[in-house]
Structure 1
Amino acid sequence: MTEQQNLIYPGRVWNDTEGNRIQAHGGSIIAVDDTFYWYGENKERSTPGSGIWHWGVRCYSSTDLVNWTDRGLIIPPEPHDEESPLHPTAGMDRPHIIYNARTRKYVCWLKVMSKGSVQRSTVLVADDVLGPYTTVTKWLRPLGMSAGDFDLVVDPHDGKAYYYFERVHSELIVADLTDDYTNVTGYYSTHFPQPQPPYVREAPAYFARNRKHYLITSGTTGYYPNPSESAVAASYHGPYTILGDPHPTDASRTSFHSQLSSIFKHPGKRELYIALGDRWLPGYLDDGARAFQEFEAHFAPGRDGDEPMEEFAHVDSSIADYVWLPIRFDGDIPVIEWHDSWSPDDYEDA
């Protein structure tokens, strides 16, 4: 057992209450009653040369957002089924879970990458946030599109749900979900069109504040960090106005060497919004310009963007760290500043 802590240390190794490295990458937090559940990709076996992209979805519970207890694999891998989207070699990323009050089900969407630029979704449901989860749909191409990084949003007033996803290497899509949250209705809007990576916006992280709808997105440079971009709108479907990089004090232009996976509004604090990020490459703390230029050249017109980028291909995601930072607001503009350490206790109760 590790000693109880009361501080979050961005960029440092974060262990659970048993002293083991937390494995919840590309993760999110869902609050159920008085307990927080942090879940994400289990990368403990994703070492270089292993061929293992993931080992299921792992979950941790906490009452203070600092000390986390391992609750195990809520969605285990399926190593004996090579055709499964949950096979360890399948590129399963960024699980998101939302609760449907109408059906009383927890609904989980998974992004799954396959060869080339085709990315598809798998949808599962459960009666309890810790599972077991049952697959509803495999290999879904929502709206007939290749769907990459995404976020799921439920309106707290009417229960309507929305699916924000990167149309791979193209633009951002906001799509209405069906009443049971397991598919799209067909109604959608398009945002931030771009001709190619690294300009295409991915990793959308949504939050709402003062009746405004915010998105923070990343550029497209693989595991290599790049500047984030925030945008705001008066409705879920926009149109969105770009506000700029929410990390204005980061001279490296790398979002403090991280990529956001989601933004969590603490339900018990008046104004605590936490930007949850992964530091995929803890040993790579260079300026972001070089990687951006490499991806720009790789995806230039006439180049085969599916070819591997050898210099940028060696990643050990099993030792990736986390960068969690509070968001402050300059009027209505979100600002993320560096803290060597910080505590949720420092924020006023709601």
Structure 2
Amino acid sequence: MFGLREIFKKATFAVSAVTIASLGTEAQAQTIQNDVFWKDTSGNFIYSQGGGVLQVGDTFYWYGVKYNGAVTYAANPTKKNSDTGFSGVTCYSSKDLVNWKFEGIVLKPDQAAGGWFGRIGVVYNAKTQKYVLAGQGGSPNWQFGEYFATSSSPTGPFKFARVQPESEMTFFVNNNTGDQTLFLDDDGKAYVIASNVKGRTNLYVAPLRESDFLAIDGSKTVNIHKSRVGGREGNAMFKYNGVYYFCSSDLHGWNTSQTYCMSAKNILGPYSEEFVLEGTQHDFSHVTQTGFFIQVKGTKGSFVVNAGDRWSDFAGNGLGYNQWLPISFETGKPVFHSLSQWNINAKEGTWSVGDGNNYCLNPTFEADRVSQTSLTGWKLAKASSADINSTSKKRTGRWGLYLTGSNTISQTLTVPNGKYKLTAYVQSRGGQKTAKIFAKDFGASEVNADISAASSNWKQKSVAEFEVKNGKVTIGFSIDGESDKWIAIDDIELVKTSKSVATPTTDPIPVTPVEPPKDMDVVSKDSVVYEAEKGFIAEGVTETTHAGFSGESYVNLDNSKSSYLKIAVWNSEAGKRNLKVTYANGGKNARPISVSVNDTVQIESLDLDVTGEWTDWKSKEFSLTLPAGKSIVTFKSLTDEGAPNIDKVEFVKTEENKDSSDVKSQEKTIGIAQRITPHHDVNMHKNSRYFYVNGRSMNTLQRKASRIRVYSK
């Protein structure tokens, strides 16, 4: 029998070691264990609340606030406290979203005023090459508003930059934000996702000033929604497959809530009507408030992590500050999965339910936050006029179940087939006619266990192991006795005991529709060489990693059939032109591409063979029919490996049907042709033996028909 402190130690020590779970012969996933206090790779508690995660390359950086009250509650989680004293902003780094290395206090208290500091996030501004931290707080000289700090490194230190005072934020009702987070879009633009302060009935998408991210741009801020049914807080955003989801919680203070969402195809709206995020209703988002979201994109798929804030220090609602849950899109709509344990493979973009997952929803009765006559996730057979959750009859957290008289409480769950164990901690007054814990409707007869024996101490009770054969089970508790004959229940577990090979769950990697600007210009109308990095890149980056390229960099398109490069070229007169592309393919296989002109495919597959190394640059020549003037040439990947690295595209100067008998004449002709620009008046006379350039006769010694191609310099 463990007391609360011993239970807490057992749970938190377990999470300091990473669990490895197999997802087949190739993939390895690591386990996220919720409902405990997390520890970093050094075995120390993770203190990170009200923050966000920024991905830089293959590394995730997690920023949050360390509060004085978080330290005292983690050390002795027996009652909530109100110590919101600011100890600094912490930073942790990870490559797998499970093992977190402590990088230090990256924003120290001396960089801010005293009092509340929080709801922070970090984004990167490519123009200033600075990491920008924004949140709610005051400057060192006690000026309050939207707080900004900057750093040249994701691991800090961050230094105070400025506060945007409330007097400048008249675009918010009451001149400030309520809860807020930061959202960094695919195009590098950053936004504050917020409600207004004092009432919080208005929701906003507020762009940061693009030049440096050190101010909210009020001229572009949009009030996307005004609530008709009360305020919203815990505001955060994620994007999936080109759709933006603005999510919030009820105005419940530090407590929990189901999650409300709105969606739009444009970040500034219009947004849909609010809807409840499926899966958050039955235990109020796994006993959390909306925190922030993490987009996981891997080699096999993608999904979204809901990083919920539990605020157990200030609400007292259980163990753990951070509860991370997967959101999937199997039906095209987001679905929240309430899991106590799950496996994640960030590299592949897959997840699966953990072997130790507790399938019971709201198992500690913490979701409801206040006294209730009915409980979230549970069905009561007879309506009760008395509160059935109790702050005195509880084992962990603030609440427990308290039943008297004659009644039954149950929940029906959809679960995988297999063998299960159902347990709960029980106290009893004794003297009831019957009192039991039961499981039924699983494809066989009910199994139950008597819990009527009087006990003032918490005792764990269980039913006999049972096998689910029809994909569902109803679990619950019943009592039949006098009004003073009570039972108390807490910490229920429904765990699968028969192990099976975990099937990783994932969704297709989302492809966000990206279109080049309609006014996409050529680099120069006088160019014959077009550097790839000057074009429009969809799903790819510019790099300088491999030597031997020309220009400033080269283009590395993503390993995807949907990646492409667009280049605007200029052609002086319509006709067939020869071009060549310079590329490097250090892979094992050829990487063909299609080539289009103004969205019409002219080459269905241009073979770009292996070059040997990524530093071996080769050229491939091809022909296109181009109209006069500007054309958009698109090079699109055709395989899952994407395209080779592309350095440049250039016109090839060709000479057709030359007469080799008159070398000097040909040399003169070629020399003249290379000096002609598209602005000259070029005419061909009768049988093509005479050419006129600006009215002057040229090539009078040419004996046979000849053609001269005119090129810009």
| Aligned partner of 1:121 among 146, 152, 164 | 146
Report if the CA contact (8 A) 1:45-1:55 is conserved.
Answer: no
Q: Residue 189 of structure 1 aligns with which residue?
A: 222
Give 1:326 shift: 0.6
Q: Residue 636 of structure 2 aligns with which residue?
A: none
| Aligned partner of 2:61 among 27, 37, 51 | 37
Give 1:153 shift: 2.5
Aligned to 1:206, the other structure's residue is in SS state strand
Corresponding position: 1:102 with 2:130: no
Corresponding position: 1:216 with 2:247: yes
Aligned residues: 305
Report if the CA contact (8 A) 1:43-1:317 is conserved.
Answer: no
- 1:161-185 residue CA offsets vs partner (Å, 9 max, x unmatched): 2222111123111122212111122
In the superposition, relative to structure 1, how do residues 154 and 29 fare at CA in structure 2: closer, same or farther (>3 Å)? closer
- Unpaired stretches in structure 2, ≥5 consecutive residues: 1-12, 20-29, 73-79, 352-505, 510-713
Give 1:66 shift: 0.7
Aligned to 2:147, the other structure's residue is in SS state strand
- 1:147-201 residue CA offsets vs partner (Å, 9 max, x unmatched): 12212223323x33222211112311112221211112222211231368xx212
Aligned to 2:341, the other structure's residue is in SS state coil
- Unpaired stretches in structure 1, ≥5 consecutive residues: 79-83, 283-313
Corresponding position: 1:167 with 2:196: yes
Q: Distance in 2 between matches of 1:340 and 1:50?
A: 27
Give 1:321 shift: 2.1
In the superposition, relative to structure 1, how do residues 128 and 316 fare at CA in structure 2: closer, same or farther (>3 Å)? farther
Give 1:214 shift: 0.9
Supply the AA of the counterpart residue of 1:171: N
- 1:119-167 residue CA offsets vs partner (Å, 9 max, x unmatched): 832111110011121212126335222212212223323x332222111
Q: Which moved more, 1:147-156 or 1:22-31?
A: 147-156
Aligned to 1:202, the other structure's residue is in SS state strand
Q: Distance in 2 between matches of 1:268 and 1:154?
A: 19
Normalized against structure 1, the TM-score is what? 0.78
Report if the CA contact (8 A) 1:155-1:161 is conserved.
Answer: yes
Q: Residue 328 of structure 1 aligns with which residue?
A: 328
Q: Residue 33 of structure 2 aligns with which residue?
A: 9
Corresponding position: 1:281 with 2:324: no
Give 1:38 shift: 1.1
Q: Distance in 2 between matches of 1:37 and 1:85?
A: 22
Q: Distance in 1 between matches of 2:82 and 2:255?
A: 20
Corresponding position: 1:143 with 2:169: yes
Report if the CA contact (8 A) 1:224-1:280 is conserved.
Answer: yes
Supply the AA of the counterpart residue of 2:196: R
Report if the CA contact (8 A) 1:153-1:162 is conserved.
Answer: yes
Q: Identity across aligned pairs (percent)?
A: 28
Aligned to 1:184, the other structure's residue is in SS state coil
Q: Distance in 1 between matches of 2:235 and 2:102?
A: 27
The residue correspondences of 1:1-350 to structure 2 (distance < 5 A) are: 2-5=16-19, 6-46=30-70, 47=72, 51-78=83-110, 85-87=112-114, 90-112=115-137, 120-138=145-163, 140-141=165-166, 143-144=169-170, 145-157=175-187, 159-168=188-197, 169=199, 170-179=201-210, 180-185=212-217, 186-194=219-227, 199-248=230-279, 250-252=281-283, 254-268=284-298, 270-281=301-312, 315=315, 320-345=320-345, 346-347=350-351
Give 1:319 shift: 6.7
Q: Distance in 1 between matches of 2:83 and 2:293?
A: 30
Give 1:211 shift: 1.4
Q: Distance in 2 between matches of 1:10 and 1:49?
A: 22
Q: Distance in 1 between matches of 2:191 and 2:41?
A: 34
Aligned to 1:99, the other structure's residue is in SS state strand
- 1:226-266 residue CA offsets vs partner (Å, 9 max, x unmatched): 221011012111121135221436424x2221012111002
Supply the AA of the counterpart residue of 1:162: Y
Aligned to 1:331, the other structure's residue is in SS state coil
Q: Residue 442 of structure 2 aligns with which residue?
A: none
Q: Distance in 2 between matches of 1:247 and 1:192?
A: 21
Q: Which moved more, 1:97-106 or 1:36-45?
A: 36-45
Supply the AA of the counterpart residue of 1:4: V
Q: Distance in 1 between matches of 2:255 and 2:280?
A: 19
Give 1:278 shift: 1.4
Q: Which has the higher contact order (CA 8 A, sep 6+)?
A: 1
- 1:198-233 residue CA offsets vs partner (Å, 9 max, x unmatched): x21222211111211111111111101122101101
Supply the AA of the counterpart residue of 1:110: G
Report if the CA contact (8 A) 2:68-2:83 is conserved.
Answer: no
Q: Distance in 2 between matches of 1:59 and 1:19?
A: 15
Aligned to 2:169, the other structure's residue is in SS state helix
Report if the CA contact (8 A) 2:107-2:159 is conserved.
Answer: no
Q: Distance in 2 between matches of 1:329 and 1:23?
A: 31
Report if the CA contact (8 A) 2:194-2:236 is conserved.
Answer: no
Give 1:279 shift: 1.2
Higher alpha-carbon Rg: 2
Give 1:317 shift: 10
- 1:75-126 residue CA offsets vs partner (Å, 9 max, x unmatched): 1112xxxxx7442xx111121000111111001101138xxxx983211111
Give 1:22 shift: 0.8
Report if the CA contact (8 A) 1:25-1:41 is conserved.
Answer: yes
Report if the CA contact (8 A) 1:8-1:343 is conserved.
Answer: yes
Give 1:280 shift: 1.4
Aligned to 2:33, the other structure's residue is in SS state coil
